[in-house]
Amino acid sequence: MAESVPLLEAAGISLRFGGVRALTDVSFQVNAGEVFSIIGPNGAGKTSMVNCISGRYRPTAGSIRFAGADITRLPTRKRPAIGIGRTFQNLALFGHMSVLDNIMVGRHHLLRRGFLPGMLYWFGGAQREEIAHRREVEEIIDFLEIQHVRKAPAGTLPYGLRKRVELARAIALKPRMILLDEPMAGMNLEEKEDMARYILDLNEEWGMTVLMIEHDMGVVMDISHRVMVLDFGRKIAEGTPAAVLADPHVRRAYLGEGDEVVSDPEAALVP
């Protein structure tokens, strides 16, 4: 159950690339313990917004606060340490490395032993630290049911399994908020059902706040607490999934419709 406490606050976010306006005056909040989805047509600015939150882009105007602190200008490399993890729309795994090693990369910012203790691996505590991190990684591997491929090179895996490995690496950061950029894109129905279950368990059992971009309206309706809709870089709706999908502005953005009533807005918007 989501708590009514803002974990993320975006205020008046605008983003320009030369004369192109990717985002214009977008404001919203994500509450702690919430599954918050961002939807919209292709090119609406969804990934641009996630890139602003993760630090990949710096907004042209506006501010972003996380857990009460202004992170608008915080470097990307420092955001995992404050509790922000993410996956990418296009997989960003190290294909030649094993699944286990790819996930271990997500623990890098949590390592406490420096260069010199690392040289004294057996005596400086680095070995104990690595064992502790391996134990947590193995828990993530069990959770995502990828034990059978833990030693396989990530680049040799089927697409659906690689998406799980990407999710596992983001979980390994131990984030308070996880940003998921189209986690179910390209998946078949069974893979989507599995991924939706993992996301719900992360939220309900692991206590992670989830901000998700997703095109599958069935998934959005089933697992989101609230939804925001972007169109041409502007926010046109925000609220519960049912209220948003019944909004005439949303129907126009997706289907080019007028204000006529649609008897089943969810079915109309499912790709």
Answer for the pair 217, 184: CB distance below 8 angstroms, yes or no: no
pLDDT of residue 121: 46
pLDDT of residue 259: 45
Q: In this structure, how many other beta carbons lie within 10 angstroms of the beta carbon of residue 213?
A: 23
pLDDT of residue 255: 61
Q: For the chain, first and last CA: distance in Å?
A: 28
Model confidence, pTM = 0.85
Which tens digit of pLDDT belongs to each residue from 115-142? 445 444 444 455 666 667 788 899 999 9
State how many domains the chain has: 2
Which tens digit of pLDDT belongs to each residue from 202-217? 999 999 999 999 989 8
Query: Do 240 and 184 fall into the same domain?
Result: yes
Query: Do 70 and 180 fall into the same domain?
Result: yes
Give the residues of the chain that fall short of pLDDT 70: 1-4, 108-131, 255-271
Question: CATH number for the domain including 21?
Answer: 3.40.50.300
Which tens digit of pLDDT belongs to each residue from 71-89? 999 999 899 989 999 998 7
H helix count then E strand count, the chain: 11, 10
Query: Do 167 and 238 fall into the same domain?
Result: no
Cross-strand partners of 261: none
The token pair that represents 245 in the structure block: 């999908």
Query: Do 161 and 214 fall into the same domain?
Result: no
Residue range of the domain that includes 65: 1-83+176-189+207-271
Query: Do 181 and 269 fall into the same domain?
Result: yes
Query: Do 269 and 180 fall into the same domain?
Result: yes
